[in-house]
Amino acid sequence: MHQPAPVPRPRVLHLAQPVDGGVARVVLDLVKAQLATGLRVTVACPGGELAARARQLGADVRAWRAARSPGAGLPREVRRLARLVDEVRPELVHAHSAKAGLAGRLAVRGRVPTVFQPHAWSFEAVGGPTAALALRWERWAARWADRVLCVSEAERATGLRAGVRAAYAVVPNGIDLDRFSPAPAAGCLPAPRTADGGPLAVCVGRLCRQKGQDVLLRAWDEVRRTVPDARLALVGDGPDSEVLRRHADPSVHFTGAVADPVPWYRAADLVVLPSRWEGMALAPLEALGCGRPVVVTDVDGARESLPPALAARCLVPPEVPAALAGAVAGLLSDPPLCAALGAQGRRHVLSAHDVRHTAGRVTALYRELLGARTLLPSECRESIHS
């Protein structure tokens, strides 16, 4: 008897722009997990670290030339992407963030099952007429997403309040808990500290309006009045770098872009993320994975990412420097409390934010959209949770 030919595994096409920061980390985590299950995975993006690392993982990577923000070149970008989709012939398209979500949905227009993952809503990132246009687009384009994948219930609620009527799914962000872990007792490589050994607050993120480093610098003078030897490290680079440097106290250190933030998390006494908006930020989860307490603004996803004890102490309203200064200074002044909150945070992410569980839930969503076709054999499904 002839054995039936094996059915090819479905191909997933991930579309991404930007190609750095949290979006890239989420895409790479999914790519790694999906390749491990035997899925065929293609990543289309404008190069950068995302393309290089996706190739290293074994994904098929296609160059898609596209600017970070929408502009006059959008029609050309959409045409390029439509040709690329025709070449790759994916069974499912997963578009990440506002720009790829815009171009991807225009290129595909429902011809292929499509997942759109906002990674925070586009209409929160801009103001005035641009925000109104972004909102009209998100409402209109929801018809071309089989699922809008949010990383928190709060992000989904923001979309619904804004009138984005869609078929939603919610899968919280996860992190690699082997990588983001407390430093070993010996042999660790801590990030540079100040010579006087004062407490160190660290803020990891792109230097841009969204991440709110300008609010943190406005709060920092008050922190220093309470904790005179405190030091602050801004870890990352971005369009606001020069402006922030001009307004920074000498106790503030700018690291520039770093290949790996883990040493900075481990060196920190406290990690701060004063964002203006998010879906569910990765930096607080990564800090908690490293056993470090956090102070974060109460934007979408923040409450859902923290255990109750930290939510009660470590959440502050966005764009209120006085509240941010009080929370930061209070924790930097209390090392035993910092240690206790960091340990609670580590236990929380172990139970609620393991990236393997996140990847498994996303793959289950793909299975739902692809219908009766078998996406994973049972042994591969089990490997996600091992």
Q: Say yes or no to pLDDT of 79 above 50.
A: yes
Segment 138-147, tens digit of pLDDT: 999 999 999 9
Among 316, 317, 318, 344, which Cα is nearest to 330's? 316
| Confidence band, pLDDT 50/70/90 cuts, at residue 383 | very low
The reply to whether omega before 317 is within 30° of 0 (cis) is: no
What predicted TM-score, i.e. pTM, was given to this entire model?
0.89
pLDDT score at 188 = 46
| Confidence band, pLDDT 50/70/90 cuts, at residue 72 | confident
CA distance linking residue 158 with residue 152, whole number of Å: 10
Are the C-beta atoms of residues 230 and 201 closer than 8 Å to each other? Answer: yes
CA distance linking residue 318 with residue 372, whole number of Å: 45
Identify the structural domains of the chain with CATH numbers, from first to last.
11-174+354-384 (3.40.50.2000), 200-352 (3.40.50.2000)
Segment 284-312, tens digit of pLDDT: 999 999 999 999 999 999 999 999 889 99
Share of the chain above pLDDT 90, in %: 82
Share of the chain above pLDDT 70, in %: 91
| Confidence band, pLDDT 50/70/90 cuts, at residue 130 | confident
Q: Which residue pairs, CB below 8 angstroms and at least 24 apart, start in 61-69? A: 62/87, 62/88, 64/15, 64/17, 66/17, 66/99, 66/100, 66/103, 67/17, 67/99, 68/17, 68/18, 68/99, 69/99
In single-letter form, the type of residue at position 252 comes to: V
- Other beta carbons less than 10 A from residue 164's beta carbon: 22
Segment 193-212, tens digit of pLDDT: 544 578 999 999 999 999 99
